[in-house]
Structures are given as structure tokens and as C-alpha cells.
Amino acid sequence: MSFETVTLRIDEGVATLTLNRPDRMNALSVQLKSELAAALDGLEKDPSLRALVVTGAGDKAFCAGADIKERSTTDPAPAQFISDQRATYALFSRIEGLACPVIAAINGVAFGGGLEIALCCDFRLAVESAKLGLTEVNLGVMPAGGGTQRLSRLVGAARAKQLIMTGRILDAASALRLGIIDDVIPTAEFQTRVRAFAADLAAKAPLALRFVKKVIDRGAQTDLAAALDQELYAASILFASEDRKEGMKAFVEKRKPVFRGR
């Protein structure tokens, strides 16, 4: 399937999903969100997928957020707005819920909904020139794609209130200090290091990564005892897997394991 506003490339188990509206700073139009959903349909069904990189086209923006020009022409009633935003919640949550590791390669501006997409990813790697912020208050609105909740879980409620209520724009170094992103990479090295990180993840046992992701994400929403039960149950399933046997056999034989996700 071909798209106009997103591109999808898969190479040796690593998919790269690019938001492709560089003339509009990769802003989230209705068409882009529809095509993003269609691209996720294929990724969710692909058994060969080992890691996903989400990025933006061009060198200026990861995603500048909602397409304000498009939004300014609409005036939905509250019920319609709620319905539309529930669809956006579901779309962003699909990124968060993918079984494989998901990397946000923040190659420029990540504002509003763009940062909300990045917050759905497991890892956030940013180019040194990146700018990030939930800036919706400057337009008289508020984050409505999960940003209030995901950011507060990441940096704490007080810090999230400060950032969202002021609409503050962070440079990459400040976002790193706050723990919003995981690494800042020089421009000349950005693409190479993102690919290397994704390839390293793709080489790991996919079942192990899947269960680690699920246990950490779900465990963060429950008490310690219940979370430890989830960890133990997941570990027991992995210990019975072919990948566990292959990994340990390869270790003993001093060779690189060949994991098959079984």
C-alpha cells in the first residue's frame, strides 16, 4: 500500500515510519492520521518486525503537532470533539502498544501532538538541534492526545504542570536533563546512531523484548506485588521458549544466537 503523508520502509526487521509532510512541518492532518493508522495495520500483522523507528521527513521537524490551518476551519460540538479525540487516543495508543520496541527519532521540532507521539514510544533519541514542548496553551487549548498523562508519569505532576501551563519550549539538552528524552545526538551522527540502536534491539530475542516491555508498562500501573507476579509469569513463559534454548546454547558454544521469536 502506498501513502502520501507517511512512508514505511522495512529492512532486516527494522521498520522506519516517517511522517511525510515536510512542507507543513509534518503536522498531523486528518489524512496523515488516517494513513498512519493504515500503516500500523500492516506493522501489527508483520511477524518479522523486530523494531520500529518513528521519525519526520526533512531536517526541520519530527512533527509540529496538529495542523492548525486545517483545525481552524472546523468548529465541532463537544460530543463530536470527544469522538474525534477518542480516535486520536486510540491511534497513539497503538504506537505505544506495539509488541516490538519503538524508537522516536526526533530529528527537529516536536510540539503538541508530535511530542505526544514521541511520548508513546519506548525510546526517544533527539538530534542536538531538536525543540520539544506541549505548547497548546498558547492557542487557548490543552494537550488532548495523552500528553497531560504521559508527561506527568514521566517527569512527575509538578514538572508536567509547569511545562504544560507555561507552554515552555525545551532544547534537547534541557529535555535530556528532565528525562523526557534518552539521548542527544550530533546532527552528523544522528541517522547512523539511530539505525545502530534499532539494529541492536532487532538482534535481541523478540519474545524477551516483548515481555520486558509489557511487564514494565503494565507493572507501572499496579502495586509491586502484582507487578512481580507479572514478571514471574512472563519469565516462566520465556524459559520454555525455543529462543531461550537457542540463546543459552549459543552462549555455551560461543557463537551468535539466531532468535526466531518462538
In 10 A of CB 182, how many CB atoms? 16
Q: List the domain boundaries for the chain.
A: 6-202, 206-252
Whether the predicted pLDDT of 189 surpasses 70: yes
Residue 139 pairs in a beta bridge with none
Q: What is the pLDDT of residues 218-261, one digit of tens each?
A: 999 899 999 999 999 999 999 999 999 988 988 998 988 888 88
Per-residue pLDDT, 178: 97
Q: pTM value?
A: 0.93
What grid cell was written down for 12? 532486516
Q: Which is catalytic among the residues 12, 70, 116, 242?
A: 116
To the query of whether residue 70 is one of the catalytic residues in this protein, the response is: no
Q: Which CATH class is domain 6-202?
A: alpha beta
Helices (H) and strands (E) counted in the chain, each on its own, are 11, 10
The arithmetic mean of pLDDT across residues 9-24, rounded, is 95
Residues paired with residue 111 on neighbouring β-strands, in sequence order: 133
> How far is Cα 197 from Cα 215, in angstroms, rounded to an integer?
22
CA 151, CA 159: separation in Å to the nearest integer?
Answer: 9
Question: How much helix, strand and coil, in percent to the nearest 5, is found in the chain?
Answer: 50, 15, 30
Same fold flag, 6-202 and 206-252 = no
Tell me what pLDDT residue 262 has.
86
pLDDT, tens digit, 9 for 90 and up, residues 107-159 = 999 999 999 999 999 999 999 999 999 999 999 999 999 999 999 999 999 99
Q: Assess contact for 122 and 102: CB atoms under 8 A.
A: yes
Question: In CATH terms, is domain 206-252 a member of 1.10.12.10?
Answer: yes
- Give the model's pLDDT for residue 71: 81
Which H helix or E strand runs over 82? helix 78-97
Please state the rounded mean pLDDT for residues 191-198: 97
| Catalytically annotated residue among 136, 189, 246, 253 | 136
Helix axes 147-155, 157-166, angle to 10 degrees: 130
> What pLDDT shows up at residue 1?
63
Instruction: Cell numbers for 71, please give them.
Output: 483545525
Rounded to 5 degrees, φ, ψ at 99 are: -65, -30
Do the bridges between strand 14-19 and strand 6-11 make them parallel or antiparallel, or are there none, so unpaired?
A: antiparallel
Active site residue 116: yes
